[in-house]
Amino acid sequence: MQVFTHEAFLECYTWDPAAAPGRIEAILEEIRGEHTLVDARAAEHGDIAAIHTPGHIQDVRHEGLYNIASLAAGATIQAATLGLQEPAFALVRPPGHHASAEHAWGFCFFNNMAIALDHLKRAGKIQAAYVLDFDLHYGDGTVNILKPRGYVTIHNPQGSDRKYYLDDVSGNLAAAKVDMIAVSAGFDNHREDWGGLLLTEDYGAMGRMVREASQRLGCGCFAVLEGGYNHRVLGEAVRAFLRGLEGKEGA
């Protein structure tokens, strides 16, 4: 699988858990050698401006974060574009699913997922998309931006029981009728992270669910990193998810 990332994502661009040193390194340590790492390219201003207001873009520039945020958005566009043919992953930071058109919070600045799907839609590459956002936190920015546009179904699974949670993911994917499945892949609901619910193997199971749904529909799929803050288990969880997305068993 091709993984779109960049050495700039290793830098500490601000002070928050998503920017903490070692986060991307923990993932690379687990997946390097299994996947092809591809340098990210920054998103074009037009792609960002199609989603975010001029005022918000200016705020991000003022904070000195435009370059890193546009690089994350660009990597997600690359993953989404390749995802039309084969599964792909954007290994990025900052994350994006709490970024709305005119404001952002939760360690996010530009909405990587919304920018990528809108890029495909405006290019006539997709007609309908399904977003599985399994981050611990509700992806309010993605909902605020994409739900009113009418071509995206967004599912943020919930539940305090692993089996119920995975059944919820499976059942919703089974009902999808789209030409792109996109995953906001947050790993902070791991049993040893903030959420304390899922096991590493559960992320592998969700990866396989996405792959199976994609094959059933004959559609594309891709994912982008969102949360996940316990570096000790983060890499293992990402590795399990990517192996599942490739149809492989085990972590």
At position 155, the amino acid (one-letter code) is: H
Indicate if 98 belongs to the active site: yes
Given a contact cutoff of 8 angstroms between Cβ atoms, the answer to whether 18 and 11 are in contact is no
- Preceding omega of 94 cis (within 30 degrees of 0): yes
Which residue has tokens 């920015």? 141
CB environment 54-72: b (16+ within 10 A), e (fewer): eebbebbeeeebbebbbbb
Tokens of 225: 């990193």
Q: Which of 52, 98, 155, 190 is catalytic?
A: 98
DSSP string, 123-164: TTS-S-EEEEE-SSS--HHHHHHHGGGSSEEEE----SSHHH
Comparing CA positions, the residue from 65, 122, 126, 81 lying closest to residue 224 is 81
H runs (alpha helix) in the chain: 23-31, 45-49, 54-62, 66-83, 112-122, 140-146, 162-174, 200-217, 231-245
Which residue has tokens 């004959």? 218
d(CA 20, CA 43): 23
Given a contact cutoff of 8 angstroms between Cβ atoms, the answer to whether 129 and 181 are in contact is yes
Catalytic residue list:
98
